[in-house]
Structure 1
């Protein structure tokens, strides 16, 4: 397969390059970027494509089998239009095709390609795999929504949840992107730990609620993200109110049954809890289910924000679209030490 990474010099683009360069079915990997070619060559020295990053303008004359768009929202949609028109299957890692038009316009501004929304398939692989297989355009989920939905949907789809869901999540700095910002400078992040987007201001909130309410109506999410002084990883602690009393043993059975044939979702046994180091560099999600004495359910989840939260899930979706096993090129364990 010939594959293009458009936006190759960001954190997500670099992770896509790392994964695709090891993929056994990718026979040609082509990189496009606004610039910073030297950085890509330095990071991937020794690979056949090093130093061959092309400007975005040259994408118009290239027809790969798949194109990964690792561009900012608003820009990604414009490139998707042209690629889809030429018959290229697109996996978009921006927010451009994740939300209904009116919701997108409220949170991100005018949509760059609203006519493509009707063909876009949300790429939460464990829940939409059949649609993904035949899709022309995949809206790869955001990192926080991926962790949240994997942790919550097994109970939501059984109509076991009610009221407000509290989602407390922590992310490494790469989740903020590679562009230079004061708040992500080493001097601001090191030995520091802080919340941001408090009070329903984070753009991933509508994505969480939109897909949650596809499975269970009337639920509301209070989402508070935090920035942790580490490079990559997400750890979420999610508090859930049940509609009826269910034992902890039965709750675990629900999760085990839901994900028994999902190779990247690991339901931890009693006494074990997720941690980010265990998923570092992988497409895995670790989930633990617990219950406090008052009856509230506490689900904890860990993913790599650049793995299952971005590039890993994107490659998983490409595998399904290409008729491959979804684990192809992704069977690695966490870099624990």
Structure 2
């Protein structure tokens, strides 16, 4: 056997081993309950309270909120695990409705904090959280510059939009970690879940500002996890793709687009799966697929225009459906 033949045999064996390891790691994601089991009292062992932190929508912005969508689903899911819950948003009525629902269905205590995380309110939030043994923090913050994807310079009120996106997606998340993390470090335990986005897996045209801000969420979380892993603290990025929320125009649920409740239930099973997860099997596959598509194809003008047209049509369809439902309610009323 000559040297060249030996080289190719070794190379082929290395490739087989590499893909075998990848396949094994992916197979683990198919069975999170087996590979990443959580003790029965895992959540309550972290502390008495869970904080679901996120601003709610303003008329001109698309923002996730603790009063609806993924934030509401996390609050309910953690309450069902026996935790008291702190929920934050700027919409008092909606928060109170969620609080009543949590109390009625789980019997857990709920603390409502009406605040706007887009403003400099963090010292006030810290005062209101003082004395609470917060074992889990969910930073569910996310603002899209526009429902319809568009190029960076085409964003309306671009200077204001840049400031708002950074304050919402970046600053508020880092500030909340700064408030909550010291208590977790002192107790030697805790969980922080920072919600990113699946589209932050690659540079994503038409969502450039949003995707870049979510990359910060991932890198910040991964850095914190490396710093505080030895302190017994789990810090994880959750990067979903399609979830039927306001941000996604309440798309119909299917195999890819999950309801907030189903997504949160699935994502909590991956808490011990590493510093980043897409939260569900189908979204993990989508993440792999997105990273496998050649950039020349993904960034082609025809593909980008197709994406814009698809989202526009979907938004129009959603608007028509809402208008029809409102008219029907008016006639019935």
TM-score (norm 1): 0.27
Higher strand share: 1
TM-score (norm 2): 0.27
Q: Which has the larger radius of gyration?
A: 2
Higher helix share: 2
